[in-house]
Chains A and B, each alone.
Chain A
């Protein structure tokens, strides 16, 4: 509804052509009924801007040719090829040699450190593994025979050195073996120990060898077996020969708690025992190969030790320092 209060807005909407046909007619009727407002109405009509039709864009051809020019430029771009004769004159100055050296150096340093670490770990594993396979054998020591050729035991003092002695011809040389075994204090099934002794005891093999010419030349052997309860067993043999072996065995541990080495020596003694010629020879002189390296090996093997026995549940265990780790 047009009133004298809102007529101006209706006039403006009429000039802007934003009114419906009905409202346009309403505005025209309102102006006819209010002649005093016709001045304002004419003033607003004069404010409309009428375009000057004579004013035209002077250069339409330039606008038409925009498309053609763009297409020609596109064609030139598509057919343009680089001039390969133009090269950069000082490429050598762009290469970075110093950076390459530094990049190579750092990885090699890291590789070296990694290789050294792997080597140390591998050495420790090998040593601990060797100790595990023959845990109860120490360095054999040659004693009391200056004429005999020196016996060279293995670095770890395995029973293979004893086997080497057993294959030599019999003589009156005295040999003392010291064997120390550390176990976890668990009772080992006898059959397992027996099996291990059968598979790894060359002394017993040599003693059981029916060949007459083969003799065992173990003059004196001392085996010390230490359990968690500090049980020590000393086995002494003297002038043991294949046919008339003389040995004295002193043991303080039950058979079912002894290690396979003790079992082997006991069995060997039972077969070749001669109480009349008990000779206990203890040689404290250092064996060949004993040195700084041997001490290091002992420390390593004590730190990483695997028991040769099994506990009551039949599980194997590994000693790492003061910790026991069960093996499955």
Chain B
């Protein structure tokens, strides 16, 4: 019998993912590997609310977390800085489990690959996270540290809200179907992770990750 140690920690997460970054609409990282931001860097804030999930026997449903990251160039070129915030409502076991998963230690894509691109990683930081997972008006915030608010794209012709999706029928690397919008607010000020990007790329999706 083959024993695979990577399967020791079996996990799966199905989550609301609220994503904002410094790219213009479309986010080059999703397709071409390179961010289409003005500076060529990638700076992103991602909010997650676990719909259903587990690490081994431990249930992770209902937990909220925020992931902040910045890379000087394209993600795959590395040298990234990251921070993981977990909501105070999570139990101590859940916090440990999410930290193990999100730091790539339990394996599984895409987190393991993302984790490999960081040179600095802080967390888990326990804090109060406010989050709204409504599809086109999703938002999350941590008092005095960060805030994200998404709004739908508005048609310049009719002024109506547009229903824009990016889909990966064969499976995307973060998610398969994203509702694309605009960042009404997006900023963070936490130690050496500091940025603000308003009116840029935003996506709301259901992410299904696991190992």
A binds B: no
Binding site for A on B (CB under 8 A): none
Binding site for B on A (CB under 8 A): none
